[in-house]
Structure 1
Amino acid sequence: MNIFLMMFILFFPAAMAPAVYWIGKRSCGLMDAAVIGSLAAETAAAAYMLCVVRYSQIVFHAPGIMTTGFEMKMDSFRAVFVLLGASMWLLCGIYCMWHMKGQSGNQRFYAFYMMALSATTGVFMSENVVNMFAFFEIMAITSYVLVVHSQGKSAHESGKFYLAVSIVTALVTLLGIVVFYTHSGSLSITDIEKSTGTMGNAKYAAAFLMSFGFLAKACIFPLHIWLPSTYSHSQMPVTIILSTVLSKAGIFGIMTVGFILGWDRHFSHVVMALALTSMLLGGVLALLKTDVKEKLAYGSMSQMGYITLVVSTVGLSDSHGGEAIMAAVYHCVNHALFKGAIFMAFGIICAKAKSSNVNDLKLTGKGNIFITATFMFAAASNMGIAGSSGFVSKTMIHHSLSYYEGGIKYMGTFLETIFLISSGITAAYLIKLFRAVFRQDFESEHSGEHEPSKSNDLKFAYFPMALICMFMIAVAVRPHAILNIAGSSVMGMDIHPGKIYFYSIKSAAYSLVVFIVGILIYSISKLKTAHFKNGVRIYVDPSQEWMHIKNDIYMPLCRNIFYISDKVFGGIDSVEMSTIGFAEKCIVKISQRGKFCEKASNTKK
């Protein structure tokens, strides 16, 4: 029965995709009902599965499938990610009923939307690295179709680059899997973990190669290059899914690699460096950007840096590794909630203004109490303000950093300092958004120009936002809830939820310090990012003049690699062809000489 339930959760959304497409050709209303009904059933099944595997696990193995075998596993840790994915897919599906109404090709969108859920669920369930790789690639391809749904030129350009990065980094991941298999003789995650002790330094090469695809999907520097264009030119529901769920597939993959290495300290320190860079760079760019989607995209990059940072401390905290990994899981859940709410709120605002530039959104949120309250509540959670759901997970992250025992002097102090600065930058960019969009602190040439769009259907946009706010309240009120369902062990680490105290004067005071730092950073940033034009404050983006990692590094590097490869291998090919041509001529001449000698011999006779 449990095996059947696990297979139902994995394959049901994909099985419904053809039916959704067929129904959509005939009735949009019935298609919406079929999608929401299917996603509700999927979410209910995932919630029930979480109860089933709370203190146990289910393993399914079918030899011969995909040559290497089909091996799925479900425990409480994986079930949290599966339920998170199904829940956000359902909430975003309801939001789509407002956002996607009247658009062409919706049946195609929803069909691939359902298939993408199955693929993402497969990533979370996989116990075989080849199965995980296969589902990861299916997830990339199906999400590509969602990215280019609007069929605009910019969407296609962004989609092509998103797919290219996904494929290239996934191929590097496959190379790492091959190295692990060569040394371990197994593709099972558990079996590979047991054999890494005999691999020597080869395990580091395999781990870093295998991490490529996951780091890219998690938007970690320097593989975040697909992030701004993809978020900016995708439909808002697609952006929500990319930020709240697909990025977590990358985090899950990084956790898997860390588990395979036994949470090795050398690997952890490298991941830590990338995470710190992502936190700071993502936060700074989120503060400077003027496009709301880019702002929120880089904000997500910064939050993924937080999660990856605490994942890197799992092997550097000795007996507190379990708390570190649960802090990562907790913040994955919280990030999905508060970022989903913020994206949904700005989806309505951008539709109202028919623009995503912050200078065109001035005061468009003013007067809408529900959207304002939703943004403020989600932003407070994003900042980690005491009393919010984000306060819980950020407190756990802060505690995990304080337990650092990686052997580098003053590293613990350095980590806490960067954490404070990055948290302040996050608060600063959210304060900037609030003042620009919701508060009338200046005269705006745009105020009063925008009329509500699709207002009659806003109930479908408000409903998922309200549910998310309710979930955030529940997490804030009962902070131990997620810890208690995780069981006693996660990824080889013992969990002691009873030892964690969230609401203390020290923790609350720290969140206040973060907010004050955010105000200071925002005040300083205004000197460079805002100026007055005809009495109107205009925000500018000074980062446009900075070096662009994609256009100034990656693209020239790729062009030079292709150019050099063309010349080198073209030269080798020319030499080979010339050698073959010369040999052919020699053989012909020798053959002709032999025939001449034979003819002369016959003449003499």
Structure 2
Amino acid sequence: MNSTIYLLFILLFPLIGSFIGFAIGMRSEKYRDIFNVVMTTIIFLVTSMLYKYVSVQTIEVSIPYVMGKGLHLKLDMFRYVFVWLTSVIWLLTTIYSTQYLVNHKNRNRYYLFFMLTLGSAIGIFISENFLNLFTFFEIMSFTSYALIINDEDEYSHEAGNTYIVMAVTGGLILLMGLFLLYNSTQTLDISELSSSVGHLGNIKYLIVTLIIIGFGVKAGMVPLHIWLPKAYTAAPTPATIVLSAILAKTGIFGIIVTIEVIMSGDFIISIIILVLGFLNMFIGGFLAIMQRNIKRILAYSSMSQIGYILVGIGLIGILKEHRTIAIYGTLYHVINHGIFKALLFMGTGTIYMVLNEVSINKIGGFGINKPLLKMIFFIGVLSVIGMPGFNGFTSKTLLHEALIEAQHMYGGIFFKSCEVVFIISSSFTVAYLLKLFVAVFIDKSTNDIQKVKAKITKITLFPMIMLSLLSVYIGFNPNTILHVLDKSLKPFGNAHPIAVDFYTFTNVKSSIIIILIGIMIYTVFIRRVLKKGEGSNWYYVNPTLNWLNLEKHIYVPIGKSVIFISTYIFHIVDGAVINSVAFIGNGVDSFSKMEIDYGKSIIIKMKSRFITLFSRGDINKFKIDEHKETSELINIKRKIEDIGYNMNSLTYSLFIFGIVLIVCLIFLMS
């Protein structure tokens, strides 16, 4: 009984508490901040208390008559990994926010949507029904949009527009997939879908594709990632932390549930996800090398690190009965990425708090005399690159071993090529983080800002210190997390716990080789090609500014072309419909006049007969008002014509889109 109450509590408390905090903030920002920190602390503690229940058995709650089909919640160890990570990152980010946002505007509004986003994220992870999950998913899209545009400048609104367009479009595509899924299976309960989907034909691939696209937008999956670098850069740093560390994981969670739980690791879908994962790793890492803004570097880094997780998801389905190593690597990297990326973004935000700038060309050398900040940032760098002794080493080692296992199972040039891409992409990680760290904390520059006295409070440093300690602890004690992941294998079918030896000579050697290749890329390419100037008068260039831009050069032109063509087609349709209505109106008018003429001849004959039979002149009471009847018919005709003209192109577009969609679905299902 306590476990179900706790589960409902961690969902409802942030949703309700967000409005309580907002009301408190209208009177006192100090007490609002205290309330929010206390609230997130309680959520973290209750989530931690749930471990003793969920490690023994799954917790489920069903509330009928909510969201149509009822509210179905479930917490097993697989979901617990995501919920616990959310609670700890949100707590530390809330503490950090109290210091970061001091000089920012819209603080009360920010905290309202920040806490609503927390509630919706937890709702996504514990939803057992896809309709519930979709509802929380859309709530999160709109609440996180408010976080992105918080500063209300031109760039944040531009980033917010890109984000919300992608989020809504992805949500509609996801909803379309859920409609087809329900139509085919008559259920949206995740636990029931595995057996139901297995009996479907090829339509299941269309359904899964639509669902993965919807979740892939939030995960920042190529080529749906266009919102990510803009939103991460525009949002206040605390919002960027949760966007990267948690909100991207909601998309990852949906993809895992769709592919592994519902599709039981379908081989074809798994191969596609594997390829997309490698594209994320390579493209994200390469673009991160070119950037000069620290937040953009870390944004593309997040895109690359999400690629590792997607590769792990693909390998789970590919390895079949040997999938355990891939499951470990995937879930382990979900945790590690949340920790080290939150740490690096907090370090970046701390620099911004002091200088109000994060371009390495303008802040070069700032951290030379900041030993504590330098050490914290360096721990984050070592964690991301996979240095032995830090948390990134553990998950990247597991993923690399899973990839080698797939190569042993299937052989061929494909998996050999995958390993090459894995090594190169990992080397890119080393290169761009070296670029960032050396520019800010080692290289002297003419900016003369290393003398700036940094007013960094202990409260600001506390979350970063905790994340640093967590990174080091996991690095030296990897089996601590592995014991938790052993209990997370149940949703993955035939997966069973296995023993893993992390610090073998082979694993350490592989990590060191990757780091050395990354140092070589930094030395040969970044220092000699991207870095310009001499001595302390240096700066970096970004060649990609003039390269192909997916949003500007592909998505926007395609969108405008579709609108132009659609407008032209609908203009023709407008004319055809209006002319048809006018034709019908004229026909009705002609028919009415004919009826009136025929009626008039009858009345005249009746009049003459009445005059013959009667000599009185009061027969005029049978007279018909011809003008009145004609005017009424004209008014009817005009109303019909008005209806035709008032039906605008948007209405037609909706109808035609629906017709085209139905025809396409019939074609695909046939």
What TM-score do you get using the length of structure 1 for normalisation? 0.96
Whether contact under 8 Å (2:97, 2:238) holds in the other structure is yes
Alignment deviations for residues 1-35 of structure 1 (CA, whole Å, 9 cap, x no partner): 11101001111111111211111122222111111
Deviation at 1:386, TM superposition (A): 1.1
Between 1:120-129 and 1:339-348, the stretch displaced more is 339-348
Between 1:488-497 and 1:40-49, the stretch displaced more is 488-497
1:122 alignment counterpart: 123
Determine the C-alpha separation between the residues in 2 that align with 1:152 and 1:372. 31
Aligned amino acid, residue 370 of structure 1: L
Determine the C-alpha separation between the residues in 2 that align with 1:559 and 1:408. 46
Between 1:38-47 and 1:487-496, the stretch displaced more is 487-496
Alignment deviations for residues 388-444 of structure 1 (CA, whole Å, 9 cap, x no partner): 11100000000111122785732221221111000000100011111111112xx52
Alignment deviations for residues 503-560 of structure 1 (CA, whole Å, 9 cap, x no partner): 1011001111011110121123233312117972210100111100010000111111
2:133 alignment counterpart: 132
Between 1:408-417 and 1:558-567, the stretch displaced more is 408-417
2:335 aligned with 1:336: no
1:233 alignment counterpart: 234
2:525 alignment counterpart: 525
Aligned amino acid, residue 518 of structure 1: G
Deviation at 1:226, TM superposition (A): 0.3
1:431 alignment counterpart: 434
Deviation at 1:289, TM superposition (A): 0.8
Q: Identity over the aligned pairs, expressed in percent? A: 31
Alignment deviations for residues 426-472 of structure 1 (CA, whole Å, 9 cap, x no partner): 100011111111112xx52202376245x1x5212100000001111
SS at match of 2:406: coil
Aligned amino acid, residue 461 of structure 1: T
Superposition map of 1:91-130 within 5 A:
91-130=92-131
Superposition map of 1:480-519 within 5 A:
480-486=479-485, 487=487, 489-519=489-519
- Runs of 4 or more consecutive aligned structure 1 residues displaced over 6 Å after TM superposition: none
When Rg is computed on C-alpha atoms for both structures, the one with the higher figure is 2
Deviation at 1:313, TM superposition (A): 0.8
Deviation at 1:105, TM superposition (A): 2.6
2:247 aligned with 1:246: yes
SS at match of 1:491: helix
Determine the C-alpha separation between the residues in 1 that align with 2:534 and 2:171. 47
Deviation at 1:574, TM superposition (A): 1.9
* Cα distance, 1:444–1:144 mapped onto 2, change above 3 Å: same
Determine the C-alpha separation between the residues in 2 that align with 1:252 and 1:519. 34
Deviation at 1:601, TM superposition (A): 5.3
Superposition map of 1:193-212 within 5 A:
193-212=194-213
Alignment deviations for residues 152-192 of structure 1 (CA, whole Å, 9 cap, x no partner): 22212211221111111011001111111111111101111
Alignment deviations for residues 194-221 of structure 1 (CA, whole Å, 9 cap, x no partner): 1111111111100010112211111110
Superposition map of 1:264-283 within 5 A:
264-283=266-285
Whether contact under 8 Å (1:50, 1:80) holds in the other structure is no
Determine the C-alpha separation between the residues in 2 that align with 1:76 and 1:260. 17
1:353 alignment counterpart: 355
Determine the C-alpha separation between the residues in 2 that align with 1:84 and 1:540. 37
SS at match of 1:306: helix
Determine the C-alpha separation between the residues in 1 that align with 2:347 and 2:178. 41
Deviation at 1:569, TM superposition (A): 2.3
Whether contact under 8 Å (1:47, 1:83) holds in the other structure is yes
2:174 alignment counterpart: 173
2:219 aligned with 1:218: yes
Whether contact under 8 Å (1:322, 1:490) holds in the other structure is no
Aligned amino acid, residue 424 of structure 1: S
Whether contact under 8 Å (1:271, 1:308) holds in the other structure is yes
1:155 alignment counterpart: 156
Whether contact under 8 Å (2:427, 2:515) holds in the other structure is yes
Alignment deviations for residues 92-132 of structure 1 (CA, whole Å, 9 cap, x no partner): 11111210114333222112111111100000001100000
Aligned amino acid, residue 346 of structure 2: M
Determine the C-alpha separation between the residues in 2 that align with 1:413 and 1:212. 28
Determine the C-alpha separation between the residues in 2 that align with 1:469 and 1:304. 21
SS at match of 1:79: helix
Whether contact under 8 Å (2:427, 2:518) holds in the other structure is yes
2:329 alignment counterpart: 327
Alignment deviations for residues 284-328 of structure 1 (CA, whole Å, 9 cap, x no partner): 110001111111100000000010111111110122212212211
What TM-score do you get using the length of structure 2 for normalisation? 0.87
2:463 alignment counterpart: 464
2:35 aligned with 1:34: yes
Determine the C-alpha separation between the residues in 2 that align with 1:320 and 1:438. 44
Aligned amino acid, residue 414 of structure 2: M
Deviation at 1:345, TM superposition (A): 0.9
Between 1:494-503 and 1:575-584, the stretch displaced more is 494-503
Superposition map of 1:554-573 within 5 A:
554-573=555-574
Deviation at 1:83, TM superposition (A): 0.8
SS at match of 2:369: coil
Determine the C-alpha separation between the residues in 2 that align with 1:546 and 1:332. 31
Whether contact under 8 Å (2:363, 2:449) holds in the other structure is no
| 1:373 pairs with one of 375, 381, 391 | 375
Determine the C-alpha separation between the residues in 2 that align with 1:579 and 1:381. 69
* Cα distance, 1:159–1:590 mapped onto 2, change above 3 Å: same
Gaps of 5+ in 2: 609-670
Determine the C-alpha separation between the residues in 2 that align with 1:408 and 1:191. 35
Determine the C-alpha separation between the residues in 1 that align with 2:503 and 2:40. 35
Whether contact under 8 Å (2:305, 2:337) holds in the other structure is yes
Whether contact under 8 Å (1:350, 1:361) holds in the other structure is no
2:406 aligned with 1:404: yes
Determine the C-alpha separation between the residues in 2 that align with 1:535 and 1:372. 20
SS at match of 2:221: coil
Determine the C-alpha separation between the residues in 1 that align with 2:245 and 2:204. 31
Whether contact under 8 Å (1:210, 1:257) holds in the other structure is yes
Alignment deviations for residues 212-266 of structure 1 (CA, whole Å, 9 cap, x no partner): 2211111110000101111111101111110111011111011011121111011
Determine the C-alpha separation between the residues in 1 that align with 2:533 and 2:465. 37
2:425 aligned with 1:422: yes
Alignment deviations for residues 328-356 of structure 1 (CA, whole Å, 9 cap, x no partner): 11001111111111111111122323212
* Cα distance, 1:252–1:488 mapped onto 2, change above 3 Å: closer
Superposition RMSD in Å: 1.7
Determine the C-alpha separation between the residues in 1 that align with 2:123 and 2:603. 79
More helix by share: 2
Determine the C-alpha separation between the residues in 2 that align with 1:221 and 1:531. 31
Deviation at 1:498, TM superposition (A): 4.2
SS at match of 1:537: strand
Deviation at 1:497, TM superposition (A): 4.4
Whether contact under 8 Å (1:353, 1:450) holds in the other structure is no
2:590 alignment counterpart: 589
2:145 alignment counterpart: 144
